[in-house]
Amino acid sequence: MMGAGKTSVARKASRACETPFRDSDALVSRIAGKPVAEIFSEDGEEAFRELEHKVLNDLLSDTRQAIISTGGGVVLRADNRHLLNEHAVVLWLQADISSIAHHLSNSPNPRPLVPKGDVAEMEATLTRLQDERHHLYKAVADITLNVSQIGQSAAVEAVIENVKSSKDMKDR
């Protein structure tokens, strides 16, 4: 889900592992030449999802190891779920809706699918999105981490351990 800390956790783990970090939303934004919120408002969600798929495909086609942070809606397309299942170790960062809403209400980056302002309205939208996506996240997740329970530092450590494990597997 958006606001669960995917980018922060991935960025910190990337530095610790000296492994490249890739943010799919940032790459989509760079390709489109505008922020994600503008892509949604000017071109529509489908245009964003198409760019998101292209970026994900490109990232996962690269044989070099990287830590990738995707947008929370990447699982909405079956072809993205297939790519993730076939070419990635997926860590699903879960967080309580109230934590996500608090994070998003303090974030300078607008989220196109979540209304800014009223926290109760944000929580209702986030709950709906989570309910719609839960089974999709579960379908691609190799590991599930509830950052509301374990904290962001433990989530970073889990990513680091998985990167080390996958490097060890490649060395065999």
First vs last C-alpha separation in the chain: 34
Q: Are 125 and 114 in contact (CB under 8 A)?
A: yes
Choose the weakest-confidence range: 7-16, 114-123, 124-133, 142-151. 114-123
Q: What is the pLDDT of residue 119?
A: 85
DSSP state, 76? G
- This model's pTM is above 0.75: yes
Give the bridge partners for 61, in sequence order: none
Residue 167 — very low, low, confident or very high, per pLDDT cuts 50/70/90?
Answer: low
Q: What is the pLDDT of residue 104?
A: 87
User: For the domain 6-166, what is the CATH superfamily, name and number?
Assistant: P-loop containing nucleotide triphosphate hydrolases (3.40.50.300)
Region 73-88: mean pLDDT is 97
**Residue ranges covered by each domain of the chain:** 6-166
Q: What is the pLDDT of residue 170?
A: 46
pLDDT at residue 168 is higher than 60:
no
Averaged pLDDT of the chain: 91
CA distances to 87, 89, 94 from 105, rounded to whole Å, are 34, 30, 18
Q: What is the pLDDT of residue 169?
A: 45
49 or 167, which is more confident?
Answer: 49
